[in-house]
Amino acid sequence: MTEIINKVKNIRWQHLVFIMLIAMVAVGTDGCKTTGKLSKKERKAQIEYAKKQLQPIIDGTSTLSLDEQGRLISELTNKNYNDPTLNSMLLQASQKVKKAYADQEKAKAQKVDVARAALYDLLLNKDNKTADELAAALSAIKAQNLSDDEITELIGRVEKKIQEMRANGSGANLPVKTQLENAFNTIVNSAKTGNLSMADNTINNTLQLFSADNAPVLVIISREGSMVDYDKPTTIRKYLEFLKDRKTNLNAIDAIMVDSNGKIKELDLIKK
């Protein structure tokens, strides 16, 4: 009986060892495949396929996104085929993708610049648009989805302006040019009637539109084509005081320059 049991044990042990050997061979085979040990035929086929994948990227005809192109190049590079032609193509493809990313960023930067200028125009409302017209122009800008912090902040400011216009009626939030013209006339008329307190209040309120009390004011005496003659430069505070003292307004607004906060940083006037 003992002899029979020993034979069974030996058979089971031999069977177990056989199974383990088969498993080790299987694992070893898979290991060879993952370490890149290919036959010459397999290696050549993979290299040719890699070249076919890279050629559309180099030609600029690939239907893959830039991110997908970048991942493909990275994957092929990591396989380290060490083929001179393929290596050259990998370099060309990398340069192509790099340039495409740069062009993409440049195009976005240009869109951001255009949108920024348009948003400042909406804030100033130089064209005296209605709230609905401002909202329509703003929607076109928002549809671009520029994902820029400054643009997002400006959009918020325009939205607030539109809300205020709708809440206060069409007469509120006049364009900056109109506000300045009204202020100039109020200062002159108040000074003429001897209401200096109103003139001073108007001066102080008008200064809030400017980046600083010493923001430059340039008065154009004459202009012929690109040739422009200016009077002696002054500041906005001095000019407003000048209007109060002279009790007359002989200049019209020619141009308004604003800073990044939407405040007037320079005012150009022209003789009427």
Tens digits of per-residue pLDDT, 209-250? Answer: 999 999 999 999 988 877 889 999 999 999 999 999 999 999
The residue type found at 235 is T
Query: Residue 186 belongs to a domain with what CATH number?
Result: 3.10.450
pLDDT of residue 130: 81
Residues in Cβ contact with 134 at an 8 Å cutoff, skipping those fewer than 6 apart: 122, 125, 158, 161, 162, 165
Rg (C-alpha) for the chain, rounded Å, is: 38
Q: Considering the entire predicted model, what is its pTM?
A: 0.45
| Residues 148, 209 share a domain | no
Q: Is residue 24 part of a domain?
A: no
Structural domain count, the chain: 2
Which domain range does residue 221 map to? 176-271
CB 187 within 8 A of CB 240: yes
Q: Is residue 102 part of a domain?
A: no
Number of Cβ within 10 Å of residue 81's Cβ equals 18
Identify the CA nearest to 256 among candidates 163, 136, 176: 176
Q: Is residue 77 part of a domain?
A: no
Let me know the angle formed at the C-alpha of 269 by 267 and 272, rounded to the nearest 5 degrees: 160
- 252 secondary structure, DSSP code: E
| Residues 256, 184 share a domain | yes
pLDDT of residue 190: 92
Q: Is residue 238 part of a domain?
A: yes
Q: Is residue 35 part of a domain?
A: no
| Residues 240, 260 share a domain | yes
Q: Is residue 15 part of a domain?
A: no
Task: Express each pLDDT in 129-177 by its tens digit.
Answer: 888 888 899 999 999 999 899 999 999 999 988 887 776 654 445 678 8
